[in-house]
Structures are given as structure tokens and as C-alpha cells.
Amino acid sequence: MISNVQATTQHVVYTNKAQCRDCYRCVRMCPVKAVRMQDGQAYVEPSRCIACGTCVRECPQGAKSVRDDVEIARRLVRDGGRAAVSLAPSFAAAFPAWQHGRLVAALRRLGFGYVGETAIGAAHVAKATAEIVHRRSNRSHVCTACPAVVSYVERYRPQLVDNLIPVVSPMIAHARHIRRTLGEPVAVVFIGPCVAKKAEAERPEHRGAVDCVLTFAELRRWLEAEGVDLAACEESEFDEKPAGEAQLFPLEGGYVRTMGWSTDVLDARVLCVSGFDEMTDALDFLDDTAQPTVIEPLFCTRGCVGGPAMDTDRNSFSRRKRVLDYARKADERPNEQPGAADLATAFRRDSLIETREISEEAIRNVLNMTGKAAEENQLNCGACGYSTCREKAIAVIRGLAEPEMCLPYMKRLAEQRVDRIIETSPNGIVILDQHLQILGMNPAFRRYFRCSDTVCGRPIAHLMDPEPFERLAAGQEQLVERTVTHKKYDMVCHQVHYPLPEDKQYVGIFVNVTNTQSSQTKLDELRVQTVLQARELLNQQMHLAETVATALGENTARGEALLDRLMLLAEQQEQDEDSMATSWKNAYS
């Protein structure tokens, strides 16, 4: 499985090289530009990737994949003794209401002895967060439930690491809760819509909390492989009931609401945002404001209900509604909650901000390579996946991009190659416009038809019979091919004429076959001469035979027999001449 793939450091998101078609969409869509192009292949750059899963969703070829951990989960359940599952509350969006209770039963059938909702951990996280925010009320805070946000801040906004609330995510909080309440040994499997949680579970400080992370897509595959049909399952209850509001965690505002804070969009103290652009806007805002602000960011648009592995085609607001409906039915009995010590964590500064100075000269050199030294040539078209030519030049210097990714440059290069081929062709090439006027020609054409560029703009009839082109223009034929003698130029050409419909132009290609034709003519003349000589010889032999017959007084019959034999001899000679001519022809053609 891994043989034909390139895995990330954490083996979470990788490219299947065989399927990659070099379209740069993943480069364009990756919010942190963690895709490196090399030799026409897209690679995920592990040190830059925050496992948000965007490229997996966006690749039109399905060439980006998320590591499949079903086998690990199956082994944990089969061999590891007691197994517990932490099910993300966004399951309510991925599965319709009639399947909720059945899904719990199905998980039990797969072998899980404990089935609980991650929302239990979320309630603990919200309580711990509220305490910290209250204690440090003079500073701004960034909530840390979303691992893609945490990774982003650590790597790309290290100056904000101190604003991250030092509390684990609901997944880790719930896993610790399970281990504490069930006692070891227990294998914990988290199931949700999130790819980044696979990477989160592998962080050294979280090791031993979650044994395996599956997406909803993986869960469905597993159920199918085991032949577990939700429609055929009985209903079952979760082993533990989460606190009511915590089930809103996958939605914008859910975290803050569970903290007991207002989610009024006009409340200036709180910013509940989702999606990369909103998130970066909100983080930028922290630089602009002195007022302590709490940012509740979720990396995916509309929160976890828009997660990369939320494998449903339902509208994102419908998914949100499903979670709201589900949460409304929940038991609001508060859980017994642990102290914050169990939930504490720390973040690191994994800064990927390039400290290496990139000189203007280096950037100019790369721009030069693709003919973009002049500002007016910097189209900033985004076809390479980067917003500007300059950004792409910097990516080339950093080893993330290749100069050849510039499509306008490659197009121009290809056109230059074509121009070169046409210029150096030994065959005459002419291009006409829709009125059969000459647009251009190559040197061979100028030589053959003894003309110069001054004929451009004049009708082709000025140089030759325009009939083949007229047939194309009349739409009678799509290709006219023939051998034409151009007496005026003392030349015989094999000609191919065809239209360029999109450009409303016509092309003529002229292969000079004059020499081949004259060889053929000479051969034909030789053959005629040979036959004439043979006939002359025959006549002489017949005359000689008559003379001999008369002289010897032999009868007419014998004379005729002799004549027949001489005729035969003559015919044979003619055939021999023919075959000799053929041999010459073959030898010289």
C-alpha cells in the first residue's frame, strides 16, 4: 500500500504519485503552501503540513489520501483487551437521526466495550478554559480545541503561542477521562470528521492517550467490511451522557457557549470564527487591539461539521442543524468534572517562518528565468498555485516550486519551439487567413515560390492556383492532399492543405518532389526507348528470317515456325527490358 505513495512525517496525508496529474490545485488550495512540486509531481512537505485535509478534499484526481488506520483499530479491538471509542459529537451531522442509536450498537458489534461521546471531554475543556480566561483576564486567548489551528499557530504564528489556552483538546481530555474511569489497560479509538486529530494523537505530550484516530469515512469502510448494516442494528445507549451544551463544540460558538459565555456576535470580547480566512483575520486582529479578546477558531469552514472527512453531501447548514437538533435532546445533567491539572498542556514554537534572507537579486534571477523580469510581464495569474509571480519565485528559491510551473512561460516556450521547427523545416509552409490572404510563411516556402515577406497580405492566388485552399474555405473538405506541378517555378510539389478552424486560418505544406518526379520521367523514357529498340530488333530478325527461308527454298510452314520462334524471342527480350527497368526504378526511387 505504501510502496507507491509518499507519506508525510506523521504519515497522515500523502500523495499517490501514480494518480497525480500535475494540475497545481493542491498547491493553490493548501492554506500554508505545504505542497512541494518536484519533477512534475506534488509532494506533501511534512515539516510544513498541518494535516488540515484541504488538499485531500480538493484534489480532482483523488491523488491525495489520508492514512488508513482501520487495520490498527481492528487489531486494537481484537487483540488489545478492552477497547473504548470516543465518538465526536459531529457524528450527529454525518449520520441521520434514525441511525444515532444504531451506530452505538454497531460500534459495540465491532468490539468496543465502551462507547462514549467526545463531548464529555469537551465539557471538561470548557470548564478549564473558563477558569484560565478568568484568571488571566488581562490578555487575549486563542482556544485550542482544533488541532489544525494549534499546528498553524505553532508553525506560522509562533508569536501567538503564548495566547494559546494551555488546555488539551476534547479528544485528549476524553481519552484521559476514559482511562481514569475505566482503568488500564484500555485501548482508546477516536472517531470523527477530522484529519488533523490523527497528527494530534501522535504528539509526544499526548502519547498514551489515544491509540488510534479514525475518520467517519474509515468507520463506514470498517462497518461495511464486517458486514454490519446500521438498518439491521438494534438501538443502544452511550455508556456516558455528555453535558448538553458540550455537544455544540463542533459548531462556531459551541466552545464559548459551553464555557458559559455569551455567543452574541456583537459581543466585542469574543470572536467565534471558522475557515482559514476568518481565522487568520481574527489572529491578525490580536495585533491591532489592546482589548483582551477570546478567539474561538475552527479551521474548517462552519467548524467540524465542515471537516475534511465529513463524508456527507448535505449542505453545511443542514449538517449544523442536525447537530443543533441532537444537542437539544441531550441530557443537561452536568458531568463530574476533573480539575484543570489533568487537562494542562504546553505548546511549542515550531516556527517555519523563514529567517533566511532572500535577496531581491535572487528573486529577480528566478523571475528572469521565466521572462518575468519586467513588471508588466508578471501576470500574477495564479495558474502555478501561487498568488503572485514574486511569491512563486520565492517558493522556487525555497525548493517548493519549479520555474516550469509558470503556464504562460511554458506556453511561450512551446510556441517558440514550434516556431523553430517551422523555421527550419525543409518543407514550405504557408498560413492564410479566412480570405485566403497570406499571413506568413517559412524560409523554404519563400525559396520554392521565389517570394519574400512582401507578399504577406496578398491573396495566395498571386503565387499559385488557390483551388485546394478554396475547397477548404468552402467547407467541402477537411484535408486536401495532392501532387501539383508548378510550371512557373519549374517545380512539382506534394501538397497538404488543412484548416485551423479555431483561428479561421488555413495551412499549406509543400513537399518538393521535383527530383523524384524527374527520376520517374527518365525511367519512363528509358523504358520507351528500350521497347522501341526491341521492336526494331524484332523487325530486323523477321526480315532476316524471310531472306533465309527464301534462299534455302524451304516451305512456308517451316518459315512460319521459325518466325514464331523469333517472335517469342523478341517478346522475351521485351519482358527482360521491362524487368530491368523495374529494377532500376526500385533502385533509384
What are the residues binding ligand SF4 (CB under 6 A)? 13, 15, 20-26, 30, 32, 34-35, 42, 44, 49-55, 59, 61, 63-64, 146, 148, 193-194, 196, 298-300, 303-304, 307
Q: 450 — phi, psi (to 5°)?
A: 45, 55
CB burial of residue 179 (10 Å; 0-12, 13-18, 19+): middle
At closest approach, how far in Å is the CB of 425 from ligand SF4?
A: 35
Q: How far apart are CA 79 and CA 76, in angstroms?
A: 6
Cα–Cα distance measured from residue 202 to residue 258, given in angstroms and rounded to the nearest whole number: 27
CB-wise, 23 or 484, nearer to ligand SF4?
Answer: 23
Cα-based distances in Å from 371 to 359, 412, 419: 19, 10, 18
Among 217, 206, 187, which Cα is nearest to 77's?
A: 187
Sheet strands (E) in 381-519: 428-432, 438-441, 480-486, 491-500, 505-512
Handedness of CA 103, 104, 107, 111 (dihedral sign): negative
Opening angle at CA 299, ends 171 and 389, nearest 5: 145
- Bridge-based pairing of strands 187-192 and 212-215 is parallel
Name beta bridge partners: 270: 294
Minimum distance from CB of 406 to ligand SF4 (Å)? 15
Give the shortest CB-51-to-ligand SF4 separation in angstroms: 5
Residue 208: strand, helix, or coil = coil
CB of 352 or CB of 523, closer to ligand SF4: 352
What is the torsional sign of CA 17, 18, 22, 25?
Answer: negative
> Toward ligand SF4, which CB reaches closer, 26 or 165?
26
Of residues 21 and 417, the one with the C-beta less far from ligand SF4: 21
User: In the bound complex, what is the minimum distance in angstroms from residue 254's beta carbon to ligand SF4?
Assistant: 11
Q: How far is the CB of 308 from ligand SF4 (least distance, A)?
A: 7
Percent helix, strand, coil in the chain, to 5, is 50, 15, 35
CB of 248 to ligand SF4, least distance (A): 13
- Quick one: 298 or 492, whose CB is closer to ligand SF4? 298
- Of 194 and 395, which has the nearer Cβ to ligand SF4? 194
CB of 15 to ligand SF4, least distance (A): 5
**Closest residue by Cα to residue 177 from 240, 131, 236, 219:** 240
Cα–Cα distance, 55 to 58 (Å, whole number): 5
Of 24 and 448, the one with the shorter C-beta distance to ligand SF4 is 24
Alpha helix ranges (H) inside 449-552:
467-473, 514-552
Closest approach of Cβ 249 to ligand SF4, in Å? 9
Closest distance of CB 194 from ligand SF4, Å: 3
Nearer to ligand SF4, 177 or 319 (CB): 319
Count of C-beta atoms within a 10 Å radius of residue 543: 10
State which residue, 194 or 581, has the beta carbon closest to ligand SF4. Answer: 194
Q: How far is the CB of 122 from ligand SF4 (least distance, A)?
A: 11
Nearer to ligand SF4, 64 or 102 (CB): 64
The CB-of-135 to ligand SF4 minimum distance in angstroms stands at 25
Q: At what angle do helices 70-79 and 216-225 cross, to 10 degrees?
A: 60
What are 188's three cell numbers?
482508546
Nearer to ligand SF4, 195 or 464 (CB): 195
Which amino acid is located at 412 in the chain? R
